[in-house]
Amino acid sequence: MTQETKYTFKDFASDQEVRWCPGCDDYVILRSMQKALPEIGVKKEDVVFISGIGCSSRFPYYMDTYGMHGIHGRAAAIASGVKLANPKLSVWVITGDGDSLAIGGNHFIHVLRRNINLNMILFNNEIYGLTKGQFSPTSLIGQKTKTSPYGNTQPPFQPGELAIGAQARFFARIGGNTPKEMTQLFIDAEKFQGTSLVEVLQNCPIFNDGCFKDITDKAVRADKQIHLEHGKPMLFGKERDKGLVLNGLKLEVVTIGENGITESDLLVHDAKEPDPTLHSMLIRLEYPLATGIIRAVEELTFEAREEALTKEVSANSKFKKVDDLFFSGETYEVK
Amino acid sequence: MATTIKNPQPGVLEAVVIRFVGDSGDGMQLTGMQFTDTSAMFGNDVATFPNYPAEIRAPQGSLYGVSGFQVHIGSIEISTPGEDLDLLVCMNPAALKTNLSALKAGHTIIIDTDSFTKKNLEKALYASNPLEDGSLNNYRVIEVAMTSLTKESLKELQGLDNKSITRSKNMFALGMVYWMYDRDMNHTLDFFEKKFQKKPLIAEANSKVLKTGYFFAETLELIPNSFSISPSKMPKGTYRIINGNQATAWGFLAAAEKSGLELFLGSYPITPASDILHELVKHKHFGVKAFQAEDEIAGVTSAIGASFAGDFAITTTSGPGLALKGEAIGLAMILELPLVIVNVQRGGPSTGLPTKTEQSDLLQAMYGRNGESPLIVIAASTPADCFDWAYEAARLTLEHMTPVLLLTDGYIANGSEPWKIKSIKDMPPITHKQISGGDSEKWNVYDRDAVTLAREWAIPGTKGFEHRVGGLEKDKTTGNVSYVPENHEYMTNIRAEKVERVQNSIPDLKSDFNEEGDLLIVGWGGTFGSLHSAAKQLNEEGYKVGHAHFHYINPFPKNTEAIFSKFKKIIVCELNNGQLVSLLRMNFTNIEFSQYNKMQGLPFGASELVQKFKTLIK
């Protein structure tokens, strides 16, 4: 990249006034993205943000790149078209738990299955915000909302589990109040060749305030979260004295120094392991909550497969122009 | 039909209608298609009508499992697959029962007698055997033990299983018909060689059975003489046989090459539109990106994404799929991006009649979206002109930057006819609105062309033109979100006016046969052939009748009212409950319209139309 295209985060801010509620984690996500893009080094004109409907989906309006605010649930499908039309673009899907896991569930699983090289940022606030407070597919059992005044009776999806079921190659999770780590995850997601899904645990201060506070608050974060890094032991805690081991078919929290446990007994995180079993267990784990890149297994992307096939077919084809096709085969002359 | 000479005596015929009918596994479609291709290569004009059940293999011998293929060949202009059959080729009792009514007394039936077993007769709900009870006395029946003769002819061919042997009996029938109508077998023999390149035994078996049927007919005393149909007088040129779906696909290929854009198709399989997808997936060598999506909505939304990124994007579907795509089409409309939506109409509502034809999606095409969401709506009218209308849909969407909905239907999509091949160099130019750069400072997303009101198409990758678009109402210039009341009204009106202004770039409506007279026959889409034939017949009989056929429905051609005003009476004929006629009544309040409607999943017959029209003129 040349000097003149060295951007700062300001270059990615559009002239539109940001209209999210004060205190919303969406601001953190926006700023983290604006900081990640200069680091990634992609040209501004090559970046496209596609969103669906919901609070999160206003995001493209605030980025000074190409962008489209689509329709409810369809961002992944629109973005697939953008990427297939021009694979050189850096394509980002901005979506929420309602947008992607309810109305857009079909596109969510199929984009992951195909492994198109785009990045999806899933703003999970376990509620419908823009429609003012109905339960979403990630709302908890018992959660009281506008449409569950006596408590929600529909069991929630775990987005990462659903993603792995759909053959996701890249899944990461991060708290909505940790911009530095989030910025890094966005950079890693873009570098990954294939569909990258980043779930952000995003607090909605109006309709579901504090839903993640027991995990994400600064005071408890180190003890309640395990921030995974590929190749590093699964270690967490303020004192860095806790870790994870495998006990039978379950993950178990252990304390270093107790019962003769040393750091070398802990599991070492392997995000690149194709077998998703351990990744699924980490996704389901409630204490500590796993954040960071849980899974990153590179595989040929859909568009790379298509490109190779197109090259092969073109090389072997006798049709260079449509006239070659139209006048080929069984034609006859009328004289 | 007046143009078909119903002479069962040997001699030179102007036109002949043949229908092959059998079980859905009997290979009737292939048999019919082979006869069509061979006749076209001989120089006949042809039109076909495949009619098959929605079930892939319905229970053998059942009435609802009957599959048919009708072909009309002639030395004169052929515009429909014909009505009264000259020859019915019948592979089983169920096929006889469901098709006999189309055969006029005195005409010929070829019957495979081996299939007239007690069991098959029961399945066809025959109380007695029609071959024995005298019920076919009025017809010329040619009874042939086709299955046994096929088995006999193949008994020396080692290694063939029973199923493959009996399955080739359709070629016995085809061989007989080839001899009767003096057709050359070579085209079909070559076809076997190519199709069964890796199964030479099957190729040999089919060839052998075809020839056996041919020679059987030649030596059989039951068939007195060969008929012959001379080549027709069609304009000079290179031709091929094409069906409507293939022509549609090829029209888009031509448009992509002419415009210099890459073609993107987002689609989901649906009868009877899937063949367009099947055709386009073959053409990666032209840079075609044919994407089979997870559902109808992803089909259209992926196309919208591709259009945003600069491809010439289309989506193909049939009625139920169009319903699912509605919201997204509204998005493309408010974004003002180019997009062609093809709806190959079928019988509705809901799942309706998937394999049968109907024109009942016109109002859905016009209004099937939320909000004020007008589209350009055009319709193809014959199998071969699907090529031209796909091309025209591309031209309109790329020049006017608003979605175009192209209507075809199951009848023309599956029907075939000769297509005088068009070279890309003879096609009209297509200009698009993409900008490759320039001064972005003075540029606004929703700046418009003064004449067409089309905006410019700045695509990702173009430096300095970064912008956001979306489904929310947008400011008339910048495209930023705007809730200003006056702005919304302005934008609603300008999007409508943009579609209206398309009137300036389309040709006038014309009335065939007469520009004034006693009756104007009005139609649109795939009914062209039937209406044209009926109008022709009436004029030959001395009536003063015109035929105006709509290809442009939104907007209507400028001179529409002028054409209407020259006729004493107007009848609007549609395969629906009166959808075009409602639009006409709404737009031309001074004019009185009669209507003729049919909703049987079948095309109009020219004779039913003639009968109806005569009641209006006298």
- CB distance A195 to A167 below 8 Å: no
- Most confident stretch, B3-7, B195-199, B572-576: B572-576
Residue-level pLDDT at B231: 79
Tens digits of residue pLDDT in B365-418: 999 999 999 999 999 999 999 999 999 999 999 999 999 999 999 999 999 999
Query: CB distance A326–B250 less than 8 Å?
Result: yes
Nearest CA in chain A to B285: A314
B581 pLDDT tier (thresholds 50, 70, 90): very high
- CB distance B295 to B322 below 8 Å: no
**3-class DSSP assignment, residue A41:** coil
- CB distance B410 to B348 below 8 Å: no
Query: For the whole model, what pTM was predicted?
Result: 0.92
* Higher per-residue pLDDT: B233 or A262: A262
Tens digits of residue pLDDT in B276-324: 999 999 999 999 999 999 999 999 999 999 999 999 999 999 999 999 9
Residue-level pLDDT at B11: 55
Single-letter amino acid code for the residue at B63: L
Mean pLDDT of chain A: 96
Residue-level pLDDT at B232: 82
Query: CB distance B239–A44 less than 8 Å?
Result: no
Residue-level pLDDT at B437: 86
Query: CB distance B302–A89 less than 8 Å?
Result: no
Residue-level pLDDT at B233: 81
Query: CB distance B253–A43 less than 8 Å?
Result: no
**Residue B76: closest CA among B21, B131, B5, B161:** B5
Task: Please tell me the distance from the alpha carbon of residue B434 to that of residue B429, in angstroms, as a whole number.
Answer: 15
Task: Please tell me the distance from the alpha carbon of residue B401 to that of residue B113, in angstroms, as a whole number.
Answer: 61
Residue-level pLDDT at B228: 64
B137 pLDDT tier (thresholds 50, 70, 90): confident
For residue A82, give the nearest of B40, B305, B468 by CB distance.
B305
Residue-level pLDDT at A320: 95
Query: CB distance A69–B423 less than 8 Å?
Result: no
**Which residues of B are less than 8 Å from A80 in CB distance?**
291, 293, 298, 302, 305
Residue-level pLDDT at B12: 62
Instruction: Tally C-beta pairs within 8 A across A and B.
Output: 206
For residue B306, give the nearest of A70, A84, A306 by CB distance.
A84
Half-sphere exposure of A200 (CA within 13 A, CB side): 32
Query: CB distance B467–A326 less than 8 Å?
Result: no
Q: Is the per-residue pLDDT at A183 higher than 70? A: yes
- Tokens representing A157? 């999806």
Query: CB distance B301–A81 less than 8 Å?
Result: yes
Residue-level pLDDT at B43: 85
The least confident of B212-226, B450-464, B564-578 is: B212-226
Task: Please tell me the distance from the alpha carbon of residue A311 to that of residue B284, in angstroms, as a whole number.
Answer: 8
Question: Which of A5, A7, A14, A330 is most worth mutating to test chain B (most B CB atoms within 10 A of its CB)?
Answer: A330
Q: How far B476 CA lies from chain A's nearest CA (Å)?
A: 16
Tens digits of residue pLDDT in B505-530: 999 999 999 999 999 999 999 999 99
- CB distance B492 to B523 below 8 Å: no
**Which residues of A are less than 8 Å from B302 in CB distance?**
77-78, 80-81, 84
Query: CB distance B241–A320 less than 8 Å?
Result: no
Q: Which whole number is the average pLDDT over B577-604?
A: 97
Residue B568 to residues A114, B521, B530, B541, Cα–Cα distance (Å): 61, 11, 22, 18
Q: Is the per-residue pLDDT at B2 higher than 50? A: no
Q: Which whole number is the average pLDDT over B489-493?
A: 98
- Classify B299 in phi/psi space as left (phi over 0), alpha (psi -120 to 50) or beta: alpha
For residue A81, give the nearest of B264, B459, B466 by CB distance.
B264
Query: CB distance B462–A45 less than 8 Å?
Result: yes
Crossing angle of the two packed helices A75-85 and B296-308, in degrees rounded to 10: 50
Query: CB distance B468–A70 less than 8 Å?
Result: no
**Which residues of A are less than 8 Å from B328 in CB distance?**
71, 74
Query: CB distance A69–B470 less than 8 Å?
Result: yes
Q: Which whole number is the average pLDDT over A213-229?
A: 97
Nearest CA in chain B to A80: B302
Q: Which whole number is the average pLDDT over A134-142?
A: 97
Tens digits of residue pLDDT in A272-283: 999 999 999 999
Residue-level pLDDT at A322: 97
Q: How far B458 CA lies from chain A's nearest CA (Å)?
A: 10
Query: CB distance A68–B305 less than 8 Å?
Result: yes
Residue-level pLDDT at B540: 95
**H-run or E-run covering B499:** helix B485-500
For residue B327, give the nearest of A71, A83, A331 by CB distance.
A71
For residue B461, give the nearest of A63, A89, A320 by CB distance.
A89
Q: Is the per-residue pLDDT at B618 higher than 80? A: no
Mean pLDDT of chain B: 93
Query: CB distance A332–B240 less than 8 Å?
Result: yes
Residue-level pLDDT at B376: 98
What share of chain B in percent tops pLDDT 90?
84
Q: Is the per-residue pLDDT at B459 higher than 80? A: yes
- CB distance B348 to B271 below 8 Å: no
Q: How far B433 CA lies from chain A's nearest CA (Å)?
A: 17
Q: Is the per-residue pLDDT at B69 higher than 60? A: yes
**Residue B18: closest CA among B97, B83, B105, B96:** B83
Q: How far A263 CA lies from chain B's nearest CA (Å)?
A: 46
Q: How far B237 CA lies from chain A's nearest CA (Å)?
A: 5
Query: CB distance B302–A66 less than 8 Å?
Result: no
Q: How far B307 CA lies from chain A's nearest CA (Å)?
A: 8
Query: CB distance B305–A77 less than 8 Å?
Result: yes
Query: CB distance B470–A48 less than 8 Å?
Result: no
Residue-level pLDDT at A4: 54
Q: How far A68 CA lies from chain B's nearest CA (Å)?
A: 5
Q: Which whole number is the average pLDDT over B452-457?
A: 98
Q: Is the per-residue pLDDT at A18 higher than 80? A: yes
**Which residues of B are less than 8 Å from A70 in CB distance?**
301, 304, 331, 470-471
- CB distance B315 to B297 below 8 Å: no
Nearest CA in chain B to A47: B460
Task: Please tell me the distance from the alpha carbon of residue B71 to that of residue B48, in angstroms, as a whole number.
Answer: 4
Q: How far A72 CA lies from chain B's nearest CA (Å)?
A: 10
**Which residues of B are less than 8 Å from A81 in CB distance?**
264, 266, 291, 301-309, 313
Q: Is the per-residue pLDDT at B343 higher than 80? A: yes
Q: Is the per-residue pLDDT at B225 higher than 70? A: no
Q: How far B421 CA lies from chain A's nearest CA (Å)?
A: 7
For residue B468, give the nearest of A61, A77, A88 by CB distance.
A61
What share of chain B in percent tops pLDDT 70?
96
Task: Please tell me the distance from the alpha carbon of residue B13 to that of residue B75, in angstroms, as a whole number.
Answer: 8
Query: CB distance A82–B308 less than 8 Å?
Result: yes
**Residue A92: closest CA among A138, A127, A52:** A52
The least confident of A205-219, B41-55, B160-174, B583-597 is: B41-55
Q: How far A84 CA lies from chain B's nearest CA (Å)?
A: 7
**Which residues of B are less than 8 Å from A110 in CB distance?**
293-294, 298
Nearest CA in chain A to B459: A66
Residue-level pLDDT at B606: 87
Residue-level pLDDT at B1: 27
